A and B are shown apart, each in its own frame.
Chain A
């Protein structure tokens, strides 16, 4: 049996085992696990076919990155949809930091200005930005509901909405970034990050893999902080009603 077939069989078996375990434990996650596995299989198969074409035509690379941003924004925006302009917020919070830092890395020559280097770099940074946007946004939305009395107290004491929401926003950003910072801190000790593994499997030397991984990880830290800050800022604006009042998700504005 070929190694390729063995890899696919092992992956498929693991997904089925996870779904079976979830079913046995009555977690209600079996369907989600299988759908996620199936989606990943289809998406990666399509990407595998497309990527060869994209690598040979630079203009297609731009379109490919645009699709990545759009998909990330739709995914993140759906999580924040209880506030107006959620998708616009997600597009800005993901695209600006991820594409900006990718641009810097390419402009200074840290990575080659080729689709083969630019697409994976942009992909990792877009993925990280999406995670930071979703985590920050969810914490903000939950906080607007759970801390409604505290926020209203601050407004009643004469605060502007921006000031009344500032503690919630700071907490949301911190809460979202702590797991991401921990991931970076433990890189190489607890987990071997994807870029490192990919480069090693692709035949790069451990030193090269570590150097490139470090560059990406450190860029991710900045991208995710910028995404969280942008998300907080845009959601502060979305939650602000005229007359220094706050829009609480799920409540009709009064």
Chain B
């Protein structure tokens, strides 16, 4: 069965992924699909390779074996910068770039409309007043939400989230869950690596155990 046949709606298809680091096998024979409009949760204990798997999906890491396809096309054949714009990644401890939140959201997006940034902040649970805040001075939870907004400003087709609620309080985590439901209803595909069982129960259409 081809990736396209398994994944008629489009999205990511992972086949037989194997990752080795310094001679150690980190991931072996991992296969799953993450269609657009759905949330797939990657569930595994700490150190099992969840973050490594997410970084393979946008080719920040290259696997030793296996393929990752986006809309049926092998990601190895897609220009890396284009792939990363289409498949957004929010890391577990997202780095804030120098400058304001506005500068972070518009990074490498010259002329991005203000309302797109405000909408992205709103989706991440932050108000428009955050645009002028200095990114380096934000709390851990605010940084996590700015990083989500930064990824959403780019209008990705797929979103990779690494422990998105780890730095959030219960209310903010609940807002993130609601946001994910809204975004997937609009067609965004989400791959979620998390320990947060409540989040998995609230948003995941499918869970993949490593």
Contact = CB atoms under 8 A, between A and B. Distances in A.
9 contacts: A152-B95, A158-B81, A158-B85, A158-B154, A160-B81, A254-B19, A254-B52, A254-B61, A254-B62
Contacts of B55: 254
A252 interface: yes
B22 interface: yes
B80 A156 contact: no
Given A152-B91, A158-B108, A158-B154, 11 more contacts: A149-B93, A150-B95, A153-B94, A153-B97, A153-B147, A154-B108, A157-B84, A157-B151, A243-B80, A254-B19, A254-B52
**Most-contacted residue by chain A among B19, B82, B95 (CB, 10 A):** B95
B88 to A, nearest CB: 7
A147 B95 CA distance: 9
B150 interface: yes
Interface residues of B, number: 30
Nearest to A158: B85
A96 B121 CA distance: 50
Contact of B154 (A147, A157, A163): A157
Contacts of B94: 149, 153
B107 A252 contact: no
A254 B21 CA distance: 7
Nearest to A242: B62
**Most-contacted residue by chain B among A152, A160, A243 (CB, 10 A):** A243
B45 interface: no
B60 A155 contact: yes
A252 B21 CA distance: 6
A157 B62 contact: no
Interface string B87-102: 0110101110110000
B22 A157 contact: no
B4 interface: no
Nearest to A254: B61
A152 to B, nearest CB: 6
Contacts of A155: 60, 84
Nearest to A154: B97
Interface of A: 147, 149-150, 152-160, 163, 167, 243-245, 252, 254
Interface in B1-37: 19, 21-22
B89 A245 contact: no
B116 interface: no
A243 B55 CA distance: 13
Interface in B52-69: 52, 55, 58-62
Nearest to A245: B60
A152 B92 CA distance: 12
B107 A157 contact: yes
Contact of B91 (A156, A158, A163, A243): A156
A145 B206 CA distance: 36
Contacts of A149: 91, 93-95
**Most-contacted residue by chain B among A156, A157, A245, A254 (CB, 10 A):** A156
A245 B62 contact: yes
A167 B88 CA distance: 22
What are the 8 tightest A-B residue pairs by CB atom distance, in nearest-first order?
A244-B80, A254-B61, A150-B95, A149-B95, A156-B89, A158-B85, A153-B95, A252-B22
Nearest to A155: B60
A147 B154 CA distance: 23
Contacts of B84: 155-158
Contacts of A167: 98
Contacts of A159: 81, 108
Nearest to A253: B62
B147 to A, nearest CB: 8
Contacts of B82: 158
Contact of A156 (B21, B60, B76, B93): B60
A238 to B, nearest CB: 18
A159 B151 CA distance: 13
A103 B107 CA distance: 44
A244 B81 contact: yes
Given A156-B88, A156-B91, A159-B108, A243 B62 contact: yes
B42 to A, nearest CB: 17
